[in-house]
Amino acid sequence: MMRNKVFRPFFLTAAAVTVAEEGKKGMAPQNCVCRRSELPIYSNTVAVSTASIQDHCPPEPTFVEDIIRTIRQHLVSGYSTFEEVKLKGESMVNSTVSRADEVIQFLQKEDNTFPRYGAIAIGGLAGFILAIRGRLFKKTLYSLLGAGTVASVCYPNEARYYAQIGLAEARKYATIAYNFAYGGEVFEKDKEVAK
């Protein structure tokens, strides 16, 4: 599939360029540019020798120069295409971020209780859909994580408060588990934390 999507267009454009280059080689050579003073209008002599004009013509490009020019042209066109795609992508990302900020600000307003509840329910449903092939524990865990994530977006102050409580409880139980595993004594500080 990648061969069809990536390599085929590249080779088709390369074939078109090589055919165009062969067509240019078959054409008659164009007269080269010369200075104004060498034109018959500005000179004292009426006839200008074509040899002096041909002296100013650059030599025919070699095979290596043709290859390098073709590669350079492809790289420049590819880079310009990449820049266009990059600009479109940046504009899409910026518009998406601004819309997401508007939605978050809308959900964080105190008056919008029903949209908050709906967003939390949709978050829980999204978690359930992600875990649809799992068992009951996975479905429950993903649903709670989805609903909890959206709830923390809707209620950021409460989420921060409960996160601090959760970290304190986790530290307390980690200390108890460590002391239980290694048989250490519970220090006075740990006794106060456990209460």
19-57 per-position pLDDT tens digit: 455 555 544 455 666 677 666 665 555 444 554 555 566
Domain regions of the chain by residue span: 156-195
Question: Alpha-carbon distance 151 to 17, whole Å?
Answer: 58
For residue range 178-195, list pLDDT tens digits in order.
888 887 665 555 555 555
Share of the chain above pLDDT 90, in %: 42
Average pLDDT over residues 79-84: 92
Q: In terms of Cα–Cα distance, which of 165, 127, 171, 174 is closest to 146?
A: 127
More confident site: 176 or 94: 94
Q: What is the pLDDT of residue 28?
A: 47
- Burial class of 151 by CB neighbour count within 10 A (0 to 12, 13 to 18, 19+): buried
Question: Alpha-carbon distance 113 to 28, whole Å?
Answer: 79
Which residue matches tokens 């010369």?
34
Q: What is the pLDDT of residue 187?
A: 57
Q: In terms of Cα–Cα distance, which of 180, 169, 176, 178 is closest to 191?
A: 176
Average pLDDT over residues 145-159: 91
The answer on pLDDT for 107 being more than 60 is yes
Q: What is the pTM of this model?
A: 0.49
Q: What is the pLDDT of residue 180?
A: 82
Question: Alpha-carbon distance 158 to 120, whole Å?
Answer: 14
Tokens of 157: 């102050």
The answer on pLDDT for 85 being more than 80 is yes
Question: Alpha-carbon distance 187 to 110, whole Å?
Answer: 45
Question: Alpha-carbon distance 191 to 11, whole Å?
Answer: 74
Average pLDDT over residues 123-149: 92
The answer on pLDDT for 2 being more than 60 is no
Q: For 161, which DSSP code?
A: H
Which residue matches tokens 């280059």?
21
The answer on pLDDT for 168 being more than 60 is yes
Around 43, how many Cα atoms within 13 Å sit in the side-chain half-sphere? 12
Averaged pLDDT score across all residues of the chain? 78
Q: In terms of Cα–Cα distance, which of 56, 53, 59, 55 is closest to 40?
A: 53
